[in-house]
Amino acid sequence: MTDVSSDELAYTLGLISGEGSFFITFVRDDRYNHNVWYSPKMSVSMGEYSRELLKSQQALYGLGTVTDHPKGYAWTLSSRSDCHELRRLIDGHIRRHENTAFVQSQKYQSYQKWCEALEILQPDRSLSESEVIELADLREGMNNIQAASHISPEEIRRTLTQE
């Protein structure tokens, strides 16, 4: 990962504020500990003419992938290490530019919850049952729109107790 300029990161934060989302995904899967798979995620989804823009963002940071999305394309980070690296970059930018517009945005509240979740989701670390539940609870305060496959914290608790 090369260093990026403050202007480049400010631009990226504008994209994230307008078109991005911070997530914690959960999927029921008995192949994983506690019968559930979980992962941090950040995604910027844009229209059909945005592929090159998103590819340039992915290349600039060397993080995530750009894939087809129902409405166009998405730049998505879903590995713990990529998400932690993005957090390091964003937090560094905020420290250097305390008045950045990103901290005034609604997206910043989701980002803060996501950061709390990343404290739990350290790379190469298995979670305890109580940490999985804490993660599920944090996720609820993160996103306003829920996917059709959304699993509520109550469902996660039930899945954990069925082990």
Q: Is the overall model pTM greater than 0.85, yes or no?
A: yes
Residue whose C-alpha is closest to residue 151's, from 137, 162, 161, 163: 137
Tokens 């964003």: give the residue. Answer: 90
Q: Where are the alpha helices (DSSP H) in the chain?
A: 6-19, 51-61, 80-96, 106-120, 129-140, 153-161
How far apart CA 148 and CA 50 sit, in angstroms, is: 25
**What tokens were used for 12?**
């990226």
Instruction: Show pLDDT as tens, one digit a residue, over the chain (163 residues).
Output: 557 899 999 999 999 999 999 999 887 777 777 777 889 999 999 999 999 999 999 999 999 999 999 989 999 999 999 999 999 999 999 999 989 999 999 899 999 999 999 999 999 888 888 898 898 888 877 765 555 556 777 777 777 766 5
* CATH class belonging to 6-161: alpha beta
The secondary structure of 120-135 as a DSSP string is H--TT-PPPHHHHHHH
